[in-house]
Structure 1
């Protein structure tokens, strides 16, 4: 039996990639206004307020640095996963960032918090993606194509 993971890995890459890109769009105001019911944050200030709840020991300026760092990482990871560039590295980064997020959620809001969102599903999916060796429909497969 031939094991073909082309469609499932592509679907997982796109789902994870969008799972990183869409929240970034929310926090910079591209998904709707704060309080509209369509968004979690709606702007940067509300996102940093939330970030500060996850790291209550940090000042607002430190929360801003953490938030900016996470946002940059999420944009890079999301784009790489969708485009299929450095997929294994992006998947490991995705697993690390979501696992870290889950830990902070647990300490700030309790054990149930990361289960109200698919945080562990993202971590598991990213870890699974990092174990695949051949990615069809990706820049990696195009770049690494034998001559």
Structure 2
């Protein structure tokens, strides 16, 4: 039986990976200065200011640490999804990260923000992607073929 899900799973991996890498680039100032174009933060300080509103129970140094952990996690998940390395685990990680965002965003600013930002969609996409058995055109598939 032919795998008819080759291209959709590849597109889902890329879309979800880019969904994680773009905010990282934004908060590091790579996409442009604050207030230009569609830039949400434009620098780390603006990102931490926003994150502080999502985590009002934590003081700023702790939010800085949490923001750093989230940024590293998003970077790793995004890269792994795009190249297809440890894809199942990266997809599960993507869902866990986005479910965490859903909880903090909903509790602090309401349900509309995670809906507007597509956080529910990203969480569901990660779950769907984690259930695929073979990731065609991925490092996983390439490494799996070399070990056989």
- Verify same fold: TM over 0.5: yes
Structure 1: state its 5+ residue gaps: none
- The 5-angstrom pairing of residues 101-112 of structure 1 reads 101-112=101-112
Any idea what the Cα deviations from partners look like across 1:103-140, whole Å, max 9, x if unmatched? 10000011222111100000000000000010100000
How many residues matched? 147
RMSD: 1.1
Aligned residue in 2 for 1:80: 80
1:125 aligns with 2:125: yes
Distance 2:77 2:36 in 1: 28
Structure 2: state its 5+ residue gaps: none
* Contact 1:31–1:38 under 8 Å retained in 2: no
Greater helix percent: which structure? 2
Distance 2:58 2:37 in 1: 28
Aligned residue in 2 for 1:92: 92
Distance 1:111 1:68 in 2: 24
Aligned residue in 1 for 2:38: 38
Distance 1:34 1:111 in 2: 25
Structure 1 ranges of 4+ moved more than 6 A: none
Aligned residue in 1 for 2:113: 113
Distance 1:43 1:112 in 2: 24
1:38: how far off? 2.3
Aligned residue in 2 for 1:137: 137
1:23 aligns with 2:23: yes
3-state SS of 1:25 partner: helix
Any idea what the Cα deviations from partners look like across 1:30-52, whole Å, max 9, x if unmatched? 11101224200000000000110
TM-score when normalising by structure 1? 0.96
Distance 1:43 1:84 in 2: 29
